């Protein structure tokens, strides 16, 4: 082979090598770009997961704060239940005094005194967020009332409460004791 042919072959090999290097550099650059895009996507996903975890943590804190506030707000329910039994006995005393003798005036003072006690007791309860549940004349609602029996009535439509046996109460809007009532079945 001549020098000229060797030089030509060497230049072809050099050009081919340069071409191959340029192609592999371009391929390497594309794979670097793809790798960068992939890594950017992973970083974005990781940031989104962190934000979601922070939001979940904040929601958990708010829920726990509400639960603790509710526990504090409704911690007095056992005491209230005991006090309501005392109120019920005062109401029964009024009913018993009324049934003794309608004409006798000696029980009038007792009855009036117990009525004043019940009024004062109810005012004190309402000051602390405890309110009576309206019953007589209202439509029966199982969320607030407990039906102990039914009775026919010409004057009261079906489904309306005719008589309240035990007054129900709510503490800050939550039923702590439903009203025990007698519900009308209407005219039968």
* Residue at which a domain ends, from 128, 146, 164: 128
Q: Give the pLDDT score at 173.
A: 87
Q: Give the integer Cα–Cα distance in Å for 111 and 95.
A: 9
Q: Give the pLDDT score at 73.
A: 84
Cα separations in angstroms, 102 against 105, 109, 140, 164? 8, 13, 32, 22
* Residue at which a domain ends, from 105, 128, 151: 128
pLDDT tens digits, residue range 133-178?
988 989 999 999 999 999 998 888 889 999 999 999 998 889 999 9
Domain hosting residue 10, numbered range? 1-73
Can you list the pairs that 92-99 forms with residues at least 24 positions away whose Cβ atoms lie under 8 Å? 94/118
68 and 82: one domain? Answer: no
66 and 100: one domain? Answer: no
Q: What is the CATH number of the domain that holds 182?
A: 2.30.22.10
pLDDT at 55 exceeding the cut of 60: yes
Section 120-132 average pLDDT: 84
**Residue 101 zone, left/alpha/beta (φ > 0; ψ -120 to 50; rest):** beta
E strands, 18-157, in order:
130-132, 145-151
**Average pLDDT score, the chain:** 82
135 and 188: one domain? Answer: yes
Q: Give the pLDDT score at 97.
A: 73
- Give the global pTM: 0.53
Q: How confident is the model at residue 92 (pLDDT cuts 50, 70, 90)?
A: confident
134 and 116: one domain? Answer: no
8 and 69: one domain? Answer: yes
- Number of domains, the chain: 3
Section 93-121 average pLDDT: 73
Section 85-95 average pLDDT: 79
Q: Give the pLDDT score at 172.
A: 87
């Amino acid at each position: 082979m001549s020098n000229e042919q060797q030089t030509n072959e060497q230049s072809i090999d050099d050009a081919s090598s340069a071409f191959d290097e340029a192609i592999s550099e371009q391929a390497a650059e594309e794979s670097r770009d793809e790798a960068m895009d992939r890594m950017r996507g992973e970083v974005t996903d990781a940031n989104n997961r962190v934000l979601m975890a922070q939001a979940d943590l904040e929601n958990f804190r708010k829920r726990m704060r509400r639960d603790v506030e509710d526990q504090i707000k409704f911690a007095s329910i056992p005491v209230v239940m005991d006090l309501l039994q005392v109120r019920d006995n005062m109401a029964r005393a009024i009913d018993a005094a009324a049934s003794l003798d309608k004409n006798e005036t000696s029980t009038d003072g007792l009855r009036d005194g117990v009525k004043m006690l019940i009024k004062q007791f109810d005012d004190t309860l309402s000051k602390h967020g405890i309110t009576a549940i309206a019953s007589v004349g209202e439509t029966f609602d199982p969320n607030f009332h407990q039906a102990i029996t039914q009775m026919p009535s010409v004057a009261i439509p079906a489904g309306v409460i005719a008589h309240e046996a035990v007054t129900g109460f709510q503490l800050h809007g939550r039923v702590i004791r439903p009203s025990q009532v007698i519900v009308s079945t209407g005219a039968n």
